[in-house]
A and B are shown apart, each in its own frame.
Chain A
Amino acid sequence: MADSVADATAALTDDGCVPLAGGTWIMRASIRGEAQSRRYVGIGRIPELNTIDVKDGEIRLGACVTHARLVESFAGLAQWNGLAAAAGAAANPAVREMATVGGNLSTQDFFAADLPPALLSLDAAVELVRPGGTERLSVGRYLDVRRTLEPGALMTSIVLPRRPMRTGHARLPLRKAGDYPVAIVSMAAVLSSDGRVDVIRIAVGSVEPAAGRWTELEEKLLGRPLDPDTAHEMAEATADTFTGRDSVEAPGWYRVKVLPALVRRATQAVLSSR
């Protein structure tokens, strides 16, 4: 167990050593049929990784902040409705107490994660400590490079810009709760006084192997009044840009098919978040 970021990164430069945060992914390696032979450095106790720092223009979340703490800190605040919904609906209460934001963003082979689309819609960034120094990357960029980071790299925080946006997160699990979502739509929008879309960011999770923005839909909605029916219609017209992944839980076509309905729900969540 590392006591500081410096301790952790020193241990991590040893090839084959990886960070262990909440452990909820790593501890299931053998069940997935993966080897668990590598060395781990526990990062959950590092004070800097457990703080939530609220500044004027941004909020800095330590990478080891848990889903449960996100919900406690952000529930009831309109601007963070989407993030609180994402963290609060994932998994189950005990796992939410253990699983961390940094772990959720860093789990390469977990395609149904809730926080990547939520954080993409919020235009969040991550801070990494790398052997060459500290670096800030957009969440989208981090999702692209996380597989290829050199030994010694550690995500220390997630940075949320504070803007007057309204946000929502819609997910479709197959059961009512407790299992992985088949598809996820996260939305963040700034609306003008007459209800038109000034800024919008929409992200999709679980449909393809990595979460990503839905820019075609964003472009169609820009400048129009935001309402669930229009959003649904526009989503139907642009959903063919996705290639759903097949898995035992759901075929790829189904994941794409449910997207317009999730766009409708995310829009309703955005409109009701005040």
Chain B
Amino acid sequence: MPTSLMINGERRTSNRDPMTPLIDVLRDEFLLTGAKSVCREGVCGACTVHLDGRLAVSCLVPIGTVEGKDVRTVESLAMAGELSPLQQVMEQHDVVQCGMCFPGILMTLTSFFQAQPNAGRDEIKAALVGNICRCTGYERLVDAAVTLTKRS
């Protein structure tokens, strides 16, 4: 049965088997390769997207359950051609290394700052427990995120 959903504001239809993980549909069918498929078990966070405005690890979302839902991927953050404030601070602080974890980290922090714009260091770290980064050691990343809360 086909599944029709909104992805980054556009209506899309997938004919994949309903138990196919959303990450595979995003990457293979719609060529949205920002979200990464790494652990495929909800641990690393590289595949994180927003589903109806809430965080989801897209490796654990069967496509058959998202009929009519609104999916936002990392590609949606800079839709107008301009980086989001979060993306800008990450770039200014030269945080990104290999970048594998980053799409997920951006989606997690984007949603987190909407809920808690004035969060402190510890809260930011707690928000990131589901996003594993092998390169940065997190500290620089959290430093950058903190400047965003101070700015607002």
Contact = CB atoms under 8 A, between A and B. Distances in A.
Given A92-B45, A95-B42, A95-B130, A27 B21 contact: yes
B65 A92 contact: no
A97 B49 CA distance: 12
Contact of B60 (A27, A42, A178): A27
Interface residues of A, number: 23
A261 B106 CA distance: 37
A181 to B, nearest CB: 14
B148 interface: no
Contacts of A98: 56-57, 60-61
Contacts of A92: 42-43, 45, 129-131
Interface residues of B, number: 27
Contact of A24 (B48, B60, B112): B60
B16 interface: no
Contacts of B129: 92-93, 177-178
Chain B, interface SS category? mixed
B19 to A, nearest CB: 7
Interface in B48-102: 48, 51, 54-57, 59-62, 64-65, 67
Contact of A23 (B61, B112, B127): B61
A94 B61 contact: no
Interface string A53-72: 00000000000000010000
Given A1-B67, A31-B41, A36-B19, A95 B62 contact: no
B62 A27 contact: yes
B126 A94 contact: no
A244 interface: no
Contacts of A22: 60
B108 interface: yes
Contacts of B51: 97
Contacts of B43: 92, 178
A4 to B, nearest CB: 16
B130 A20 contact: no
A40 interface: yes
Contacts of A24: 42, 60
Contacts of B40: 28, 31
Contact of A94 (B41, B56, B64, B67): B56
A44 B65 contact: yes
A93 B108 contact: yes
Interface in B33-47: 40-43, 45
A35 to B, nearest CB: 12
A210 B67 CA distance: 36
Interface string B2-39: 00000000000000000101000000000000000000
A52 to B, nearest CB: 16
A91 interface: yes
A97 B55 contact: yes
A44 B131 CA distance: 25
Interface in A27-51: 27-28, 31, 36, 40, 42, 44-45
Contacts of A178: 43, 129-130
Given A24-B42, A27-B60, A92-B45, 15 more contacts: A1-B65, A20-B65, A23-B65, A28-B40, A31-B41, A40-B62, A91-B42, A93-B127, A94-B45, A94-B108, A95-B57, A98-B56, A98-B57, A98-B60, A178-B43
Interface of A: 1, 20, 22-24, 27-28, 31, 36, 40, 42, 44-45, 68, 91-95, 97-98, 177-178
